[in-house]
Homo-oligomer: A and B are copies of this chain.
Amino acid sequence: MNYSELWLDHASAKTDADFCGTVAWNNDCARVKNAVGELKTALTAMTGRVPELIRSANYEGRGIFLCAEGEGEAFEIFRRGETLVIKGGSAGVLYGAFALIRGLVCGDKELCTKQSPSKPLRMLDHWDNADGSVERGYSGNSFFFRDGELLVNERTVTYARLLASVGINAAAINNVNVKGPATRLITEEYYGRLREMSEIFDGYGIKLFLSLNYAAPMELGGLDSADPLDERVAAWWNARMKETFEALPKLGGFVVKADSEGRPGPFTYGRTHADGANMLARAVRPYGGKIIWRCFVYNCQQDWRDLKTDRARACCDNFEPLDGMFDDNVILQIKNGPVDFQVREPVSPLFGRLKRTNCMAEFQIAQEYTGQQRHVCYLIDWFRQVLDTRMYTGAEKDTVGDIVCGVTAVSNTGDDFNWTGHDLAGANLYGFGRLAWDTSLSAERIAREWICMYYGRDEELSDTVCDILMRSWPVYEKYNAPLGIGWMCTPGYHYGPDPDGYEYSRWGTYHKATHETIGLDRTPSGTGMTEQYNEPLRSVYADRDKCPDELKLFFHKLPYTFRLKSGKTVIQHIYDTHFEGAEEAAEFVELWKKLKDRMDAGRYERVLARLVEQSLSAAEWRDVINSYFWRKTMIPDEKGRELY
């Protein structure tokens, strides 16, 4: 096997719980049988004995009884005499089985629990191309595609198990930039393998999604248009979707990136995104399908000289006027921030502006801008903060987490042995699923769980790894672009520092640093983007003093001598954080070295090598960013440290 089972490998876990000798179940559907299988494997590993397996309508003996009714996701684990009952829908029982295993592995004192998911849609988006490459992939190649072929094999099953074990219930397997053979995923050419895959997925409670090429009526259908209001186009989609859903009854629906970064879309025909999304939504409605429509739409041919256009406004400018116009099987997929997965951004204001539209939050665990899985950057606390952010919509429950009907993440997986390039990036894959299932979980709680599941029960190890994980996002932020300004990375590649790399380009991502000031004025005296927020966020962000320090330069153009809430000037903050960040990154290496004898050599060496690279890269970030500002401002570091 050329891949790890990650947190499903329980070889080192032990339990002596009294119910481990028997697993009974009342329902032969695939999900319940998969739950039985998981328990059998895990209990065998943890007790050294294969449990007795009993099919029973109502088992009452010593042991575990999986009691499934319907297909729902909620579950309850409770004791009834000598029986530990896991009760729920078929998906719920599967989740319950994984919850029980997790409890046993982690040595939880209390195994009884009653859970239902925070959000109905918990998804991963893969940016895998049909040729086997992965856009923004940092973990090898695709395990879904190779040379145009769809792969369905044992790894597909392990993938589904990993997702189900943390509660993910949907996965879009191909890149939203749909090109080449991927356009033909909705044709007979791929139905056979897709059906196999969708059935494997369904057995683990996962809906298969595909990304669509909006221009498919032209590329596949031979039409001369993809105009959503052209009847021929709608008819083409209707026929195509009928054929596709008949071949793939377990299909969940489609993800669409339209009119964005060169992708075709309804704008080409003077139509709105609602026109475009609804046409597709109507074609998939008869089959219960959903259309997930990405809101990542902006002018990517901006003139850097133009101070009026503000990319951060684009999402609201484009979609707020369409509120209420989308069919109810359309879900708008909104990136967490208004720009693009930077290490720090404010929450997208659009979450606060859609009152009559389904929407979901899109995160990125592929660490495109956060160290590309060569740096450790545990993102769960950040996602938790986003979900907890109040949008002040007037509703009683008004956090992002309350508003959305689902969450998705651009996946960080590939065909590397450890799935995620960096072993510690596994915590993001695990953690995203866990947080999506239960948005009330703390990032630390999730980290501790993952550590225990992946490295085993070892308190000292847990403390150290948890310390590294929990500090990793703040540390990454410290040595990167300061105070929410973002984008000081190598253009295109997005790894390593290049302070002016995006400054004179067409992407709308500028910091405008001069000798005296830095930052963009997004208040009403500037681009007015702060007006897109509801009060009191609007006033807080627009006020240079009230605006949180970490977002100061996102919203304000400030002199380097401006004093932050922290009491430091902007420039001294830059110097201090960069020295600190690089120092902490170096410290991670030393912390890790203490764990040498606490895990196998492979796990130890893989992470060590990446932490060493990170510490060198962090020093480079420190020196480039600090020197950039030193040369520009000529304001010396108060502590007299070396600048170049």
A interface residue numbers (CB < 8 A to B): 304-305, 497-501, 504, 512-516, 620, 623-624, 627-628, 630-634, 644
A474 to B504, CA, bound (A): 24
A196 CB, nearest partner CB in chain B, Å: 38
Across the interface, do A516 and B623 meet the contact criterion of CB distance under 8 Å? no
Q: A514-B632, A631-B632 are in contact. List 10 more A-B contacts (CB 8 A).
A: A304-B644, A305-B627, A305-B644, A499-B500, A504-B620, A504-B624, A512-B631, A513-B631, A515-B633, A515-B634
A545 to B515, CA, bound (A): 28
Q: In the complex, what residue of chain B is closest to A307 when comparing beta carbons?
A: B644
Across the interface, do B628 and A500 meet the contact criterion of CB distance under 8 Å? yes
A628 to B513, CA, bound (A): 10
Among B512, B513, B620, B631, point to the contact of A514 (Cβ < 8 A): B631
Across the interface, do B304 and A504 meet the contact criterion of CB distance under 8 Å? no
Across the interface, do B514 and A504 meet the contact criterion of CB distance under 8 Å? no
A501 to B503, CA, bound (A): 11
Q: In the complex, what residue of chain B is closest to A512 when comparing beta carbons?
A: B631
Q: In the complex, what residue of chain B is closest to A643 when comparing beta carbons?
A: B305
Knowing A513-B631, A514-B632, A631-B513, the reply to whether A305 touches B623 (Cβ < 8 A) is yes
A500 contact set on B, CB distance < 8 A: 498-500, 628
A242 CB, nearest partner CB in chain B, Å: 45
Among B513, B515, B627, point to the contact of A504 (Cβ < 8 A): B627
Knowing A497-B504, A500-B498, the reply to whether A515 touches B632 (Cβ < 8 A) is yes
A468 CB, nearest partner CB in chain B, Å: 28
A633 contact set on B, CB distance < 8 A: 515
A514 contact set on B, CB distance < 8 A: 630-632, 634
25 contacts between A and B (CB under 8 A): A304-B644, A305-B644, A497-B504, A498-B500, A498-B501, A498-B504, A499-B500, A500-B500, A500-B628, A504-B620, A504-B623, A504-B624, A504-B627, A504-B628, A512-B631, A513-B631, A514-B630, A514-B631, A514-B634, A515-B515, A515-B631, A515-B632, A515-B634, A516-B634, A631-B632
The 7 nearest A-B residue pairs measured at CB = A514-B631, A504-B624, A515-B634, A500-B500, A305-B644, A515-B515, A632-B632
A498 to B490, CA, bound (A): 12
A515 to B498, CA, bound (A): 18
Which residue of A515, A623, A624, A627 has the most chain B CB atoms within 10 A of its CB atom? Answer: A515
A620 to B515, CA, bound (A): 22
Q: In the complex, what residue of chain B is closest to A635 when comparing beta carbons?
A: B515
A498 to B516, CA, bound (A): 21
A644 contact set on B, CB distance < 8 A: 304-305
A628 CB, nearest partner CB in chain B, Å: 7
A634 contact set on B, CB distance < 8 A: 514-516
A504 CB, nearest partner CB in chain B, Å: 4
A515 contact set on B, CB distance < 8 A: 515, 631-634
Q: In the complex, what residue of chain B is closest to A305 when comparing beta carbons?
A: B644
A516 to B633, CA, bound (A): 9
A304 to B497, CA, bound (A): 13
A504 contact set on B, CB distance < 8 A: 497-498, 620, 623-624, 627-628
A515 to B644, CA, bound (A): 13
A488 CB, nearest partner CB in chain B, Å: 11
A623 contact set on B, CB distance < 8 A: 305, 504
A499 contact set on B, CB distance < 8 A: 500
A498 to B644, CA, bound (A): 20
A512 contact set on B, CB distance < 8 A: 631
Q: In the complex, what residue of chain B is closest to A496 when comparing beta carbons?
A: B504
A627 to B514, CA, bound (A): 9
A494 CB, nearest partner CB in chain B, Å: 14
A624 contact set on B, CB distance < 8 A: 504
A627 contact set on B, CB distance < 8 A: 305, 504
A78 to B504, CA, bound (A): 61
A631 to B631, CA, bound (A): 12
Q: In the complex, what residue of chain B is closest to A631 when comparing beta carbons?
A: B514
A307 CB, nearest partner CB in chain B, Å: 8
A512 to B631, CA, bound (A): 8
Which residue of A624, A628, A630 has the most chain B CB atoms within 10 A of its CB atom? Answer: A624
A305 to B633, CA, bound (A): 18
A501 to B504, CA, bound (A): 11
A627 to B304, CA, bound (A): 11
A634 to B513, CA, bound (A): 11
A513 to B634, CA, bound (A): 11
A501 contact set on B, CB distance < 8 A: 498
Which residue of A498, A501, A628 has the most chain B CB atoms within 10 A of its CB atom? Answer: A498
A515 to B620, CA, bound (A): 22
A45 to B357, CA, bound (A): 76
A553 CB, nearest partner CB in chain B, Å: 15
A513 contact set on B, CB distance < 8 A: 631
Q: In the complex, what residue of chain B is closest to A500 when comparing beta carbons?
A: B500
A341 CB, nearest partner CB in chain B, Å: 23
A620 contact set on B, CB distance < 8 A: 504
Q: In the complex, what residue of chain B is closest to A644 when comparing beta carbons?
A: B305
Q: In the complex, what residue of chain B is closest to A516 when comparing beta carbons?
A: B634
A632 to B499, CA, bound (A): 13
A465 CB, nearest partner CB in chain B, Å: 33
A634 to B499, CA, bound (A): 19
A113 CB, nearest partner CB in chain B, Å: 52
A633 to B633, CA, bound (A): 9
Q: In the complex, what residue of chain B is closest to A304 when comparing beta carbons?
A: B644
